[in-house]
Every structure is written in structure tokens, then in C-alpha cells.
């Protein structure tokens, strides 16, 4: 009985037997043509030496194929990459490809559990004159990445503390706990049976209480000055709405201010726009001319600058007072910026806090200025049901930190930990930077039936690659491109 070519392919084990066949191309002759025509003739002499040395090693299937090394080299040059990380080094073919592509002052943080393999290729790397670009660390990558992120959180907290000229005294529990304390104090003073019957403290009262020390003094002179102006405005002066002379195009825009601002961009490009705002509440004469320029508008719309925390707190208190005066406090909710800062809180903790607060307060619209990022967001509650909370996770960085500073991260290590690596390196690569995950097509097994004949090492990690590909495809923080180079490489460009 004759065996068709299709039946023969189905009975073949999925998996590569040696380095020469580490490609998903169906034709070995075609792959060899690519190597002979485009790759090997242009391969750096040190890369060739390292490749030929690695081919003799019993674990040579772990090496990056030369066509993929060539691809990474060109990609890094197109990106003008300078700071990179590699997780999984082996003898260093991809590491050397990267080092040769980086500028003289480029750096690679290289992580691998086996220094012995790295040192096999190290003499060749040194001979190529690029060993000074490589900072090799031996050991499991996950604990090391956790330490990097931990150090970054500490540095970021110190930087926020340094820049915050109106520090608060709140511990865990924040303004919600402070409000309960003030209401209880008012209930006792008024002889009420329950703190729930006491008047809710205004936001500016909470702000002041959070910055008043036990001796009665404020935490800083800036806090004292702001508190004095806010209390003066709240007790003695009427609030006047902002008045902007609108053209027809702005009047027809959507209700939200950003949409209105967008419609004014053509006019702002020609000349600055004068606003009329009663500024007495901020200690200024009532009719000081205030102008907004084209660049100001772009900063507000694009969210590419981090506003000072005091200004945003002031804005929250001001807007809260307005909606209370207009009898709309049940409609609008303003989230105190300090409650959602990431210092000491994970993203999940902050989302849980916001979700719980929104569900309990039942406002229609919430305004959330996200201090440690670059933008604010508003959330509208559906007419029925709960409000879904999604935090904008764009973050700032400090110069001392690795976080958000890497141009490129290449991951070619233990496949069962790829998702764990992704959860960490997404914070280490900068916005616009790339993460490359190797072997994401895993010998073609990701598209094969579960019962297809496979080598054991392919079968053991097939599920991990399928799950990784699914998660990357759904990750809103990245753009992805999956290529059939080598054994499959997925490029992830961080966009937020």
C-alpha cells in the first residue's frame, strides 16, 4: 500500500533533530538557500566562529539560528537601541549579535542560570571587542527581575517624596479612614447616635486634616499656604464658573472638555486663546488674563507631562466644591490622587480600591487623575450594573532606575516562565521599546492537534507557548508581530 506525502508528514515527530534544521520552512533546500545567499556571506567572522563552536555542543538546539541573529541585528540598528536585556544566553550567539549591533556605549544585561555555557563563547566575544558592553549575571532570572522592580519602587517612592511639597500623614486606609474619623468626631460633638448621621466633611477639610500634624502645624509651608487659600475661598468668596468665549465649532463639540479643546486646535495654532476665570479663590486678582497656547493644549490632550500633585489635588477640591454647590454631588465623584498612587500598592490593589469605592458610592461619573502616570481618566457608570475599572498604567521613571529604560529585551529561556517574564519586563522596557520572545511557534506544535506525534520536549512546552501567544494577543499594553523566523519570534512593542 502506497503512503502519501501527507500521511508521511503526519507520522513524523514534531521537533528539530539538529541545529541545521532549526527552521519552520517546509523545504530544507530553501532554508539552506537563504543561509548560503543572504546570511553566511555577511555573517561577522566572530559570529561564524561562535556558531561553528556551538554546533559541536550537545545542546546546540538551544542556540539562536544565524538568520534570526541577522534579523535581530538589523532590528536593533533600526531602533537605534542602546540599553538592552537578554534572558537566556547559552553560548551567546544572540548576545554577540546584539553587542555587535549596539553603539560603543551600548549595554546588555545578560541573565542565565549557567555561566559555564556563557564562558564557552566568552573568548570569542572578547576577541570581537564587545565584551565591555555585557553585564552577565548568573542565576534564575525571576528573582533578579523582582529585585530590579523592588529597587525601582523604592527609588520612585523617594523621588515622589522629594517632589511632593505638600506631603500628607495618612497611613494605609487613606482618606476613607480619615473621613470616618472626622465624622465620628463631629457626631460626638453634636451628640448624634451614629457617625453616619454627621455631616460629610468637605474634600478641602480632608485635605487639610491629612496634612495637619499633632502639634497643629502643617506638614510644609506649601501645604499651609494652600490650606489658607482654600479655606478663605470656601468660607468667604463665591465660586464663579470658568467662562470661555466659544466659537460655533466648540459649541457643537461633545460635552467633555478634551473634545472641546480638540476643536480649538486650528485656532490655537494661529494665536493663543485668552480665558476669563475668577482667580480670587487662588489668591490672585479676579480678572488676571490667562492664556492657553497651542503647545499647552497638546500637552493636555496627549497627556505627555506629569502635573504637580498639589495642582491636581487643588483641582479635585475645586471641582468637588462646584458640584456640591450645584447639587450634583450624587452624580460626580472625584478620586483623591493620593489614594491611587502606586507606592506600596500593586495595580490589582488600586483597581480593587477603586472598584469597591465606585460600587459603594454609586456616582454616575468618576474623574480619576492618575498621578504617577501621564494622564487622567473619567469613568461613566452604566445605568444599571457596576462600573468596570481600568487603570491607565503609563508610568514615569527616575534616572537611577532600570524601569522603563530598556530599548529591547530578548527572552529565550525556560518556556514555562515566559508569562512570568512578561509580567516583569513589560515594566522594564520603555514605551516604544520592544520585547522579543523566541520559539513562540514551538516547532509548529502550536497549530498541531494535541494528539499529534511530538518529541517529548516539544509536547512538554506546547501548552505554555499556546497560552503565551493567547495572552500576548490580548495584552492592551503592547502591539505584536509574530514572525516565522527561526522557530518563531514574537515582537511586542510597548505602547502604554
Q: CB count, 10 Å around CB of 87?
A: 26
Give DSSP secondary structure letters for 50-96. Answer: HHHHHHTSTTGGGSPPHHHHHHHHHHHHHHT--EEEEE--TTSHHHH
Q: What gap in Å lies between CA 110 and CA 410, rounded to an integer?
A: 10
> What residues does each domain of the chain span?
28-64+84-139, 160-380
> Above 80 in pLDDT, residue 238?
no
What is the Cα 17 distance to its own chain's centre?
Answer: 39
By mean pLDDT, which of 88-102, 140-154, 345-359 is the weakest? 345-359
Q: Rounded distance, CA 352 to CA 340, Å?
A: 10
pLDDT band at 420 (very low <50, low <70, confident <90, very high): very high
pLDDT in tens, 148-181: 888 666 666 666 666 666 566 666 667 778 888 8
Is the pLDDT at 280 greater than 70? The verdict is no
Q: Which of 263, 342, 271, 258 is nearest to 302 (CA)?
A: 258
Parallel, antiparallel or unpaired: strands 83-87 and 376-380 = unpaired
In contact, 149 and 342? CB cutoff 8 Å: no
Instruction: With cut-offs at 50, 70 and 90, classify the pLDDT of residue 342.
Output: very low
Residue with cell 482618606: 175
- pLDDT given for residue 19 in this prediction: 46
Instruction: For residue 33, give the C-alpha cell.
Output: 538557500
Residue 64 CB contacts under 8 Å (≥ 6 apart), including other chains: 72, 90, 93, 94, 97, 412, 438, 486
- Looking at residue 42, the DSSP 8-state letter turns out to be G
Whether the pLDDT of residue 209 is over 70: the answer is yes
CATH topology of domain 28-64+84-139: Rossmann fold (3.40.50)
User: What was the pLDDT predicted at 396?
Assistant: 36
CA distance 231 to 218: 14
What is the rounded distance in angstroms from the CA atom of residue 494 to the CA atom of residue 398? Answer: 18
Stated as kind and residue range, the H or E segment containing 430 is strand 429-438
Of all residues in the chain, the percent with pLDDT exceeding 70 is 60
Higher-confidence residue of 246 and 333: namely 333
Query: What DSSP character marks residue 16?
Result: -
Q: Give the pLDDT score at 175.
A: 73
Q: Report the distance separating Cα 88 and Cα 450, nearest Å.
A: 28
324 vs 140: CA distance, rounded Å: 55
- pLDDT of 126 > 80? The answer is yes
Contacting residues for 233 by C-beta, under 8 A, at least 6 apart: 239, 280, 281, 282
Q: Which three cell numbers stand for residue 350?
A: 488600586
Contact 156, 398 (CB under 8 A): yes
pTM, two decimals, is 0.54
Q: What gap in Å lies between CA 105 and CA 234, rounded to an integer?
A: 56
pLDDT at residue number 243? 38
Q: Could you tell me which of 84, 92, 132 has the C-alpha nearest to residue 112?
A: 92
What is the overall mean pLDDT for the chain?
75
The kind and range of the H/E element at 137 are: strand 134-138
**Residue 3 pLDDT more than 70?**
no
CA dist 462 and 483 (Å) reads 17
Q: What is the rounded CA–CA span in Å between residue 119 and residue 256?
A: 60
Determine the average pLDDT of the residues in 300-304: 56
Tens-place pLDDT, residues 426-452: 999 998 999 999 999 998 899 999 899
For residues 461, 465, 467, 469, the Cα torsion angle rounded to the nearest 10 degrees is 180
Average pLDDT over residues 447-474: 92
Amino acid at each position: 500500500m502506497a503512503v502519501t506525502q501527507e500521511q508521511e508528514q503526519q507520522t513524523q515527530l514534531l521537533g528539530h533533530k539538529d541545529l541545521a534544521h532549526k527552521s519552520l520552512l517546509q523545504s530544507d533546500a530553501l532554508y539552506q538557500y537563504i543561509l548560503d545567499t543572504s546570511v553566511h556571506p555577511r555573517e561577522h567572522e566572530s559570529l561564524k566562529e561562535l556558531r561553528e563552536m556551538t554546533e559541536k555542543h550537545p545542546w546546540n538546539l538551544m542556540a539562536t539560528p544565524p538568520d534570526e541573529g541577522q534579523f535581530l541585528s538589523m532590528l536593533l540598528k533600526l531602533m537605534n537601541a542602546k540599553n538592552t536585556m537578554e534572558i537566556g544566553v547559552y553560548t551567546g550567539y544572540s548576545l554577540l549579535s546584539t553587542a555587535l549591533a549596539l553603539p560603543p556605549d551600548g549595554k546588555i544585561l545578560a541573565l542565565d542560570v549557567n555561566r559555564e555555557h556563557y564562558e564557552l563563547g566568552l573568548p570569542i566575544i572578547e576577541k570581537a571587542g564587545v565584551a565591555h558592553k555585557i553585564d552577565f549575571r548568573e542565576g534564575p532570572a525571576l528573582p533578579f527581575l523582582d529585585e530590579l522592580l523592588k529597587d525601582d519602587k523604592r527609588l520612585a517612592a523617594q523621588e515622589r517624596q522629594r517632589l511632593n511639597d505638600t506631603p500628607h500623614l495618612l497611613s494605609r486606609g487613606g482618606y476613607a479612614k480619615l473621613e470616618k474619623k472626622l465624622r465620628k468626631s463631629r457626631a460626638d460633638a453634636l451628640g448624634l447616635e451614629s457617625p453616619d448621621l454627621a455631616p460629610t466633611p468637605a474634600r478641602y477639610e480632608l485635605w487639610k486634616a491629612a496634612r495637619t500634624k499633632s502639634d497643629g502645624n502643617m506638614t510644609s509651608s506649601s501645604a499651609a499656604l494652600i490650606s489658607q487659600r482654600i479655606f478663605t475661598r470656601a468660607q468667604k468668596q463665591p465660586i464663579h464658573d470658568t467662562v470661555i468665549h466659544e466659537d460655533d465649532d466648540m459649541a457643537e463639540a461633545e460635552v467633555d472638555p478634551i473634545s472641546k479643546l480638540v476643536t480649538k486646535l486650528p485656532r490655537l495654532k494661529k494665536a493663543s486663546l485668552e480665558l476669563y476665570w475668577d482667580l480670587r479663590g487662588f489668591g490672585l486678582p479676579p480678572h488676571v488674563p490667562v492664556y492657553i497656547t497651542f503647545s499647552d493644549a497638546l500637552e493636555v490632550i496627549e497627556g505627555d507631562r506629569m502635573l504637580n500633585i498639589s495642582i491636581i489635588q487643588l483641582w479635585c477640591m475645586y471641582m468637588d466644591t462646584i458640584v456640591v454647590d450645584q447639587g450634583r454631588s450624587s452624580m460626580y465623584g472625584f478620586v483623591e490622587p493620593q489614594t491611587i498612587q502606586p507606592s506600596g500598592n500593586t495595580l490589582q490593589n488600586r483597581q480593587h480600591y477603586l472598584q469597591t469605592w465606585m460600587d459603594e458610592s454609586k456616582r454616575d461619573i468618576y474623574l480619576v487623575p492618575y498621578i504617577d502616570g501621564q494622564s487622567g481618566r473619567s469613568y461613566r457608570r452604566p445605568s444599571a450594573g457596576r462600573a468596570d475599572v481600568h487603570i491607565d498604567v503609563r508610568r514615569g521613571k527616575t534616572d537611577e532606575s532600570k524601569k522603563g529604560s530598556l530599548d529591547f529585551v530578548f527572552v529565550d529561556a525556560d518556556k514555562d516562565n515566559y508569562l512570568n517574564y512578561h509580567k516583569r519586563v513589560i515594566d522594564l522596557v520603555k514605551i516604544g521599546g520592544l520585547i522579543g520572545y523566541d520559539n513562540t511557534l514551538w516547532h509548529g506544535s502550536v497549530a498541531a492537534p494535541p494528539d499529534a506525534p511530538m518529541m517529548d520536549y516539544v509536547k512538554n512546552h506546547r501548552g505554555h507557548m499556546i497560552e503565551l501567544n493567547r495572552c500576548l494577543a490580548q495584552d492592551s499594553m503592547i502591539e505584536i508581530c509574530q514572525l516565522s523566523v527561526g522557530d518563531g519570534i514574537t515582537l511586542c512593542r510597548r505602547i502604554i
